[in-house]
Chain A
Amino acid sequence: MARSQFCSFYLDKLLFGVELHGVQEVMRSLDMTQVPLAPDVVSGLINLRGQIVTAVDLRRRLELGPAPPGTRPMNVVVRSGDGAMSLVVDQIGDVVEVDEDTFEAPPETLRGLVRSMILGVHKLDKQLLHVLDVEKACEMTDRADANHTAAN
């Protein structure tokens, strides 16, 4: 039976996962440089050993609202089509190994922008693991910006 491994993390108490082989490294939050005028899903730029990596605020991206005060966000550095990207998450979880048959597509009732980013869920014993589409999550166009880019 096909099993796959996910790097799991928490956002607003929800458990998310990205495929482990796409993850480069996980780090505590680094010095981040703000990018003014950028879509607000962009947390900023970080220096990852000489490589400049754009960080995406996953809470914003998934429309989850701001993190509670005191959260020390983590960077999950993933490899995407356009080089490395960092996903900013609340808390890092374990590496989870799941069976293919625990997977289910998202319910029809899940709508909106978020639906395109969630491939589906794995039914774990205690919780649901949301499988994130890394490429989609790394797209930095929020709604306001989508109009902007279209105009260009």
Chain B
Amino acid sequence: MGENDIINDFLVESYENLDRLDRDLVGLEKNPNDREALAGIFRTIHTIKGTCGFLGFNKLEKVAHVGENLLSRLRDGQLALSPAITTALLGMVDAVREMLKKIETTGQDGENDYPELRETLTRLQQGQGESPSGQRPVAAPDPPASSVADAAKASVEVPPPSPKPSAKASAPQKPATAEHEARGEGMGGRAVSDSTVRVNVALLERVMNLVGELVLARNQVLQFANRVKDTGFVAATQRLNLITTELQEGIMKTRMQPIGNIWDQFPRTVRDVALGCKKEVGIEMEGKDTELDKTIIEAIKDPLTHLVRNSVDHGIELPADRIAAGKPRAGRLVLRAFHEGGQVNIEIIDDGGGLNVERIRKKAVERGVVSGEQAARMSEREIFNLIFLPGFSTAEKVTNVSGRGVGMDVVKTNVEKIGGTVDMQSVAGQGTTVRVKIPLTLAIIPALVVTCSEERYAIPQVSLLELVRLEADKVASGIELVHGAPVYRLRGRLLPLVYLNRELHLAQGGNEGSHKSESTAKPAREDAVNIVVLQADERQFGLVVDQINDTEEIVVKPLRKQLKTLKTFAGSSIMGDGKVALILDVLGLAQRANVVTEARDRSLAEKTEETAEAGEKQTFLLFAGPGDSRMAIPLAILARLEEFPVAQVEMSGSQWVAQYRGQILPLIRLNTVLEERRKRLKDVTALPHTEAGPIQVLVLNHERQMFGLVVERIIDIVDDRAEVRSPATRPCVLYSVVIGERVTELLDIPAILLAAGGAVSSMPAASRVAEMGR
């Protein structure tokens, strides 16, 4: 082994140890009596000092030496750990790291021998030494001779300022075990090193690339095998297939690293930032073992660090403010990582003041990011996500940590670069949650290959929910229109449909070339329709393609820089036949098709009143109520539109009900709740006439309560500001409003529920079923 190898080993080992030191020191600050941690720290520094003495790095040795002196006094209990000492020790760790870096690049430990740092360390070491140790009982029995020798060796460099002999004698048990452990660990370490091998990353990358190529070649062979009748060849390709898959899985695993590797530095980061801005922050971590591909780990390190610093600097308030707000003095920062649907979610949660919507809105207008009118229309979530725009910072003062207006946009760009997303949620006064979603790996992904207009596209499997095939005779009835927008009823829920050929402006595929009816959104084709049900950002939509081919493992190749502006594509890949196929970016596609828009993101639970009173543009469902009067409800509370044949309506007490998706759906007739002269209606409890046509029902979801509203007929769905209002003239109506240039009554859903009686809201499902059985 040459000298260079020795130095390299020394560097690798020292870096690892230093990373642990950061963590241990901060941990020690919380729990100063953790002697084991202290012994570990001492051991690390001691090893570094020893090795660099041997290798001739004198300056590094000097710094490590004073650090060791201080540590040995701490370890022996002659000094108590104080924040000043921790800071100095962390400073020493930094200095050591810097020098290691110099050794790595130049082979020398540099010119700087850190005189101030050494002075500080020495001063601290000589400070208040005796008091804590003086009180220690002289308890230890005679330690074994070797331990004494070890302890003596370890502390021989300590210039004893005023060593009380009793103090010396009081502590031997600990250092003795520490030394013993050091040796023991050394043995254990060797055992571990037998089962692991350090591998050069470049080599691993090369192997990874080769496996990628192998996967491609395998795919080509498999395609070829489909056309060959030779059973021996087919069997061989099957084996090749299996082995390649296993090899690929194996090599992917070698690249996996726990996210804890980068999180380990965060306690230190948090401590430093918190100290810098005079805050108190505790950090908690969940899911440290969550594994990610190495390249991704590297790519998210900086963005995550930034987000963590930001949370401490901007998110968490000063202790005084926290107490005033009735919160515990110390802020709480939670890092959480977990797997979900082939992706890794990382959440950074603080319990700070939350984002100030108004301030961001104001700032955005000031900076000219959005116009005043736009800003007024934007929803909270849209506003939060404004802070990811370049040059945007709402920090009132620029600190050395954040507030310079660079950062969040870089975070977003970097996360998006690796196919991830960042989202921000915040509740004023309660805190902020930043959620980063990233793929497990970038290199090889399973994908569904589809054909559209004779070109193939790959859809990453992570976004895929299911496939629906509508046979030709079902197409006309299966695909319905909501005011021109095609939808499909998937198990009773309306799934918006997106036609890939239209979104990509492709010519209609060859087999349906005769239909050029672009103006009518509903396709008038006779062929079967293939719907790929996809998930984009909590929304589902159906992507209509010409043909669904197969699932394949594809190797992702990034698009050229200029083409990256195309948000609809995530990359490209080479297919089994050697042709290139584009990989669809499901989220980008959904945004392009307006599937993911804020208006539809409004949760159904949102109160009717709130949506009605907001001045922004809203979407209403218009329908005809009793006596053909024009009425509306906000679309947000509408779950589905249904048509029930009269025969399906049953009675439960005086309540109309219908069996619907395994539940009993109470049906509220508007005429019974709206009419002032209710008694006049004699048929109030009667079933509908059997001769009557099917009844139109709006299935509504109000505060998790599902019920049906029987209406005469559904008119339309419109976007309107609904600004011209007049007070309601009858109960169960919020107010009259002009929608689409006609006076329309906006219904008060809670009032209707109330008027319809407790039967709707309070009857538990079981009793309803029992009643039905009678």
Known: A50-B213, A52-B557, A52-B574. A33 touches B581 (CB 8 A): yes
Known: A52-B572, A82-B561. A35 touches B566 (CB 8 A): yes
Give a binary string over A74-113; 1 marks a CB under 8 Å from any B CB, 0 the rest: 0000000011010000000000000000000000000000
List B contacts of A31 (CB < 8 A): 578-580
Q: Which residue of B lies closest to A32 (CB)?
A: B580
List B contacts of A140 (CB < 8 A): 560, 562-563
Interface residues of A in 116-152 (CB under 8 A from B): 139-141, 145, 148-149, 152
List A contacts of B505 (CB < 8 A): 36-37
Give a binary string over B517-560; 1 marks a CB under 8 Å from any A CB, 0 the rest: 00000000000000000000000000000000000000001011
For this complex, 17 residue pairs linking A to B, each with C-beta atoms less than 8 Å apart, are A31-B580, A33-B581, A34-B455, A35-B566, A36-B455, A36-B504, A36-B568, A37-B504, A45-B580, A52-B580, A54-B559, A54-B560, A82-B560, A82-B562, A85-B560, A140-B562, A149-B565
A45 CA to B557 CA in the complex, in Å? 12
Write the nearest CB–CB distance from B287 to chain A, whole angstroms. Answer: 34
- Complex partner residue of A33 from B216, B455, B560, B566, CB under 8 angstroms: B455
Interface residues of A in 25-73 (CB under 8 A from B): 31, 33-39, 42, 44-47, 50, 52, 54
Residue among B213, B455, B505, B566 having the largest count of chain A Cβ atoms under 10 Å: B566
Cross-chain contact A36 with B506 (CB below 8 angstroms): yes
Give a binary string over B561-605; 1 marks a CB under 8 Å from any A CB, 0 the rest: 111011011001010001111100000000000000000000000
A45 CA to B561 CA in the complex, in Å? 13
Cross-chain contact A54 with B216 (CB below 8 angstroms): no
List A contacts of B566 (CB < 8 A): 35, 37-38
Write the nearest CB–CB distance from A26 to chain B, whole angstroms. Answer: 19
Q: Which residue of B lies closest to A85 (CB)?
A: B560
List A contacts of B569 (CB < 8 A): 35
Q: Which residue of B lies closest to A41 (CB)?
A: B562
Q: Please name the 4 residue pairs, one residue from A and one from B, whose CB atoms are nearest each other, closest first.
A: A36-B504, A33-B580, A140-B562, A45-B580
6 new A-B pairs (CB below 8 Å) besides A45-B572, A47-B574? Answer: A35-B566, A36-B568, A50-B574, A139-B562, A140-B563, A141-B562
Interface residues of B in 476-521 (CB under 8 A from A): 504-506
Write the nearest CB–CB distance from A141 to chain B, whole angstroms. Answer: 7
List A contacts of B559 (CB < 8 A): 54
Write the nearest CB–CB distance from B368 to chain A, whole angstroms. Answer: 14
Residue among A42, A54, A141, A149 having the largest count of chain B Cβ atoms under 10 Å: A54
List B contacts of A44 (CB < 8 A): 580
Q: Which residue of B lies closest to A81 (CB)?
A: B561
A7 CA to B559 CA in the complex, in Å? 27
- Complex partner residue of B216 from A46, A50, A149, CB under 8 angstroms: A50
Write the nearest CB–CB distance from A58 to chain B, whole angstroms. Answer: 16
Write the nearest CB–CB distance from B457 to chain A, whole angstroms. Answer: 9
Write the nearest CB–CB distance from B584 to chain A, whole angstroms. Answer: 10
Q: Which residue of A lies closest to B592 (CB)?
A: A37
Write the nearest CB–CB distance from A39 to chain B, whole angstroms. Answer: 8
List B contacts of A82 (CB < 8 A): 560-562
Write the nearest CB–CB distance from B757 to chain A, whole angstroms. Answer: 55
A47 CA to B563 CA in the complex, in Å? 16
List A contacts of B574 (CB < 8 A): 47, 50, 52
Known: A36-B506, A37-B504, A50-B574. A148 touches B565 (CB 8 A): yes
Q: Which residues of A contact B (CB under 8 A)?
A: 31, 33-39, 42, 44-47, 50, 52, 54, 82-83, 85, 139-141, 145, 148-149, 152
A73 CA to B572 CA in the complex, in Å? 23
Write the nearest CB–CB distance from A48 to chain B, whole angstroms. Answer: 10
Write the nearest CB–CB distance from A108 to chain B, whole angstroms. Answer: 30
Q: Which residues of B contact A (CB under 8 A)?
A: 213, 216, 455, 504-506, 557, 559-563, 565-566, 568-569, 572, 574, 578-582
List A contacts of B562 (CB < 8 A): 39, 54, 82, 139-141
Cross-chain contact B578 with A37 (CB below 8 angstroms): no
A145 CA to B563 CA in the complex, in Å? 11
Residue among A33, A36, A39, A44 having the largest count of chain B Cβ atoms under 10 Å: A36
List A contacts of B563 (CB < 8 A): 35, 38, 42, 54, 140
Known: A34-B455, A36-B504. A47 touches B578 (CB 8 A): yes
List A contacts of B216 (CB < 8 A): 50
A152 CA to B574 CA in the complex, in Å? 29
Write the nearest CB–CB distance from A57 to chain B, whole angstroms. Answer: 14
List A contacts of B561 (CB < 8 A): 82
Cross-chain contact A37 with B579 (CB below 8 angstroms): no
A50 CA to B579 CA in the complex, in Å? 10
A35 CA to B581 CA in the complex, in Å? 9
A54 CA to B558 CA in the complex, in Å? 11
A35 CA to B505 CA in the complex, in Å? 10
A141 CA to B769 CA in the complex, in Å? 65
Cross-chain contact B582 with A35 (CB below 8 angstroms): yes
List A contacts of B572 (CB < 8 A): 33, 45, 52
Cross-chain contact A83 with B560 (CB below 8 angstroms): yes
A52 CA to B583 CA in the complex, in Å? 13
A38 CA to B561 CA in the complex, in Å? 12
Q: Which residue of B lies closest to A140 (CB)?
A: B562
Write the nearest CB–CB distance from A78 to chain B, whole angstroms. Answer: 13
Write the nearest CB–CB distance from A81 to chain B, whole angstroms. Answer: 9
A52 CA to B563 CA in the complex, in Å? 13
A85 CA to B561 CA in the complex, in Å? 12
Write the nearest CB–CB distance from B600 to chain A, whole angstroms. Answer: 23
Write the nearest CB–CB distance from A113 to chain B, whole angstroms. Answer: 16
List A contacts of B557 (CB < 8 A): 52
Residue among B560, B572, B574 having the largest count of chain A Cβ atoms under 10 Å: B560
A54 CA to B560 CA in the complex, in Å? 7
Write the nearest CB–CB distance from B553 to chain A, whole angstroms. Answer: 16
Write the nearest CB–CB distance from B544 to chain A, whole angstroms. Answer: 15
- Complex partner residue of B565 from A33, A54, A85, A152, CB under 8 angstroms: A152
A83 CA to B562 CA in the complex, in Å? 12
Write the nearest CB–CB distance from B621 to chain A, whole angstroms. Answer: 33
Q: Which residue of A lies closest to B558 (CB)?
A: A52
Write the nearest CB–CB distance from A138 to chain B, whole angstroms. Answer: 9
Write the nearest CB–CB distance from A14 to chain B, whole angstroms. Answer: 25
Q: Which residue of B lies closest to A151 (CB)?
A: B565
Cross-chain contact A47 with B579 (CB below 8 angstroms): yes
List A contacts of B506 (CB < 8 A): 34, 36
Cross-chain contact A33 with B578 (CB below 8 angstroms): no
Known: A139-B562, A140-B562, A148-B565. A33 touches B579 (CB 8 A): yes
Write the nearest CB–CB distance from B398 to chain A, whole angstroms. Answer: 27
Write the nearest CB–CB distance from A85 to chain B, whole angstroms. Answer: 8
A37 CA to B592 CA in the complex, in Å? 11
A82 CA to B560 CA in the complex, in Å? 7
Write the nearest CB–CB distance from B566 to chain A, whole angstroms. Answer: 6
